[in-house]
Structure 1
Amino acid sequence: MSVRDIVAVALLAAFIAVLGLFPAIPVPVIPVPITAQLLGIILSGAILGAKRGFAACLLFLILVAAGLPLLSGGRGGVSVFFAPTSGYLISFPFTAGFIGYFYSLFRNSLTPAKEILIMMVGVFCINHLFGIIGLVFIGGIDFSKAFLGDLIFIPGDMVKIVLAYLIASRLRRALPDAMDGNR
């Protein structure tokens, strides 16, 4: 990785941490709050590409594991990876990597519909799937309750996806050389 790549990875990891300053909104059905940090995960993949997006999210999780209170609500430490929210957290690098990979794959033919679809598939098929698995196996929650409880995140995640699309598409027009997803 070049110095430019390292700086980009660190900046996106810091952005994800800053999004943790927004207060978490508790969900009555499952012990997982609504947070703003998924916006940073989506943007990591869309802006940095698969490898650097994965690296930014992994760096963020390493900092959380080291005990820095970077998660919404000031949480951090290894214990968060053994809590009901762990599946969602573990999915962060994979979600960003997926989004970045498909952004790179379609970079010459991206349309607004393709961008939003890539983000939706990444969020709903990776982030939500990992989250439900974490709720079931680590949180000890029945699958049907975990699945139904996860549905509450869809409207907010759609807002984050649209925001991520608007930010990423504007950045791509403003900084086309910096948005090379193949890096």
Structure 2
Amino acid sequence: MLKLSTLALVSVLALAACQQPQQQQLGPDGQPLPVAYRITPREEGQIPGRVLGQINALRANIAAPAMVQSPALDAAAKVHARDMAAQNRAWHFGSDGSSPLDRVRRQGYMGHLVGENISETYENEITTLNAWMQTRDTRDVIMDPRATEFGIGWYQEPSGKIWWVLITGGAAGAPTALAGGFAPGAGI
């Protein structure tokens, strides 16, 4: 009986190995269409730590202080990620007209806002962080030495689209920086 079940298992594995992998499809521009990254419940708890680890490794290269995660900035980022999805628009203003500064204050954040990065994508957090690092304004939000705290939030639609928000801040009383897609006083 054991030999029969072993033979059945080996047969199933052999047949599975013969299947062709799912082929990536091309879009109208000839470029590969993105494959939706699905955030599992297990990964939800790991995302902030992975982002924090990558950010602090990048900041160490320029001798910027390590950041810590802020529950208030996390909450503001999560609220805005969901709101951007509801608006179907990646931008720095809430459906109620709120700015990033308004949102962090609503969550009780007492430090100063350095900046906010946003993204509408099907990609994971590390690929999104890499994209932010490729543009000066969004890179400055992450690398500004006055930023000592960060928050990250996301909302994933059933289609797989992810709305990412990363907010950085610093100690209360420090001057506000001009950085990123939105920074207080930037006139945006």
Fold match, TM over 0.5?
A: no
Q: If each structure's helix is expressed as a fraction of its own residues, which one has the higher value?
A: 1
With the length of structure 1 as denominator, give the TM-score of the two structures. 0.32
With the length of structure 2 as denominator, give the TM-score of the two structures. 0.31
Larger C-alpha radius of gyration, 1 or 2? 2
